[in-house]
Structure 1
C-alpha cells in the first residue's frame, strides 16, 4: 500500500556550476496523513528553521509552506526531471524503498516512522568517519530518556 512521506534534505556543499553535488547534508523523513496545506505547514514548522530556503515542486498545498520559511523556490516538475530538481530527496526515497523491501519484506504502517528514523539516522552519519565515536559519546551523555518507569504487580516495567 502507498503511504505519504515528506522528505527534507539540506545541501552539504556548493560544487562548481558544472559539477553535481556529491554530498547531502542532513535528511529527514516524516510520515504524513494527507497532503493538505495545514498538515504540511505543521510538519515543516517542527523541523525547519524560519530563515531556511525551501526548494519544492509546484503542488498547490506548498503555498502554506511559503509562510513558514523566509525564501522558497517552487518549480513545476515533470516525471523525468524530478531527480534533477531534488536529487538527494529522490536518491534517499529510492534507497529507503529498496532497503525496506529487500531487508524487511514489508513493514506495518504503524512502525514505518520508526524505520524511517533509523534510515535517516544512518544516512546522516555516513560522513562522520573517525568522529563517529566522539559523536556517540556526546549523544549518550546528553540523552534524556522519554519513558517513565512503572510498577505492575510489584515488578518494574519500562514503557
Structure 2
C-alpha cells in the first residue's frame, strides 16, 4: 500500500531546528530578515539609512534619529521572553498536528504558566487573523457542530446549554480530496447567521453540500449552488459519503482537542479552532510552517494581555 505523502513528509527535525535557530543571535538575524526582506525601512520617515546600536537590538534612523526594535509593532512587542523561547514554542506548536497546551509549553520551556498562556494565545491570534479573510471556493462540504461535553439533565442536541456552536467547512478537489478547511464559531444555526457566514467565507458560484438542516439553504442567497442531502441523524449522517471529509475533519478536531486540552472556554473557542485550521491548511509543507508563522506574526499588531483575555464572544 502506497504511503500518504503528506503524512510521511520529513518535517523540521529537532536537530535542524536547533542548527538554524539555536542561539539568540540566529533568531534575531532571522527576524530582521523576515521583517525587512528588502532591507531596513524606518517606520517613521521611510529612510533606509540606519545604524545598529552596539549593546541593544535597536536600529536608529540616520535621518529622524528615532529608534526601532526588532519586535516593535508586532505580536512580539514588549515581550520579556528571549526570541529563542518564542521560536521553541512556535516549533512545538507547528510540528505536532494535535497542538500543545499552555501547560505543556510551561513545562517544556521552563517559563511560568501565565507567560506560556500569553505566548500560546498570541500565536493562536496570529493564526486566526491570517486565515479569517480567506474564502473557500469550488466544492465545499459543510456541517454544524458543537464544542462542550455532555451534561446531565436539561435539553440535549441542538440548543443544549453550555455548548459552543461552530460551523465546519471543507473545500475539496474534483477528485474529492480535501484542500483546506474553515472552522467558525457562530451564534446559532439560523438562516441570518448562515447568510452572513456565507457572504464572508464562500466565493460566489461555489457548490455547497450539506445535510438537511434548513438554515443551510441560506447559502443560495450568497450566490452558491446548494446540494442538500437529507440523511437523518446519528450514524447515518456520519457515514454519508457526500459528507465524508467534513465528518472526518470534525472527528480529528474533537480527538485533538480532547487529547491536548483540559477544557476550551467558549470565549477562546475561535482561537483553538483557528489553530487547528491554520495547521491543516498548511499541512503540505511542515518545514515551512515555522518561518511562515513567524513571518505573519511580524505583521500582526501587538495584543496586550487585557485584550487577549477579552476573547471573541
Q: TM-score range by the shorter chain?
A: 0.7 to 0.9
* Counterpart-to-counterpart distance in 1, 2:255 and 2:296: 34
Partner of 2:219 in structure 1? Answer: 65
Q: How big is the alpha-carbon RMSD for the aligned residues of Structure 1 and Structure 2?
A: 2.8
Distance 1:68 1:5 in 2: 19
Structure 1 residue 69: deviation in Å?
3.0
Instruction: Map residues 53-132 of structure 1 onto 2, 5 A cutoff.
Output: 53-78=207-232, 79-82=234-237, 83=239, 84-128=241-285, 132=288
Measured in 2, the distance between the counterparts of 1:141 and 1:103 equals 25
4+ residue segments displaced more than 6 Å: none
* Structure of greater relative contact order (alpha carbons < 8 Å, 6+ residues apart): 2
1:53 Cα deviation from its structure 2 partner: 0.8
1:141 is displaced (CA, Å) by: 6.8
Output the TM-score relative to the length of structure 1: 0.76
TM-score of the aligned structures, taking structure 2 as reference length? 0.41
Deviation at 1:67, TM superposition (A): 1.3
Give 1:129 shift. Answer: 5.3
User: Number of residues paired by the alignment?
Assistant: 143
Considering only CA atoms, is the larger Rg found in Structure 1 or Structure 2? 2
Q: What is the distance in 2 between the residues matched to 1:101 and 1:142?
A: 27
User: CA offset at residue 31 of structure 1?
Assistant: 0.7
CA distance in 2, matches of 1:142, 1:99: 24
User: Kindly tell me: are residues 45 and 147 of structure 1, through their superposed partners in 2, closer, same or farther at Cα, counting changes over 3 Å?
Assistant: farther
Distance, in Å, in 1 between the alignment partners of 2:184 and 2:167 is 5
Unaligned 5+ runs, structure 1: 15-20, 150-156
Higher strand share: 1
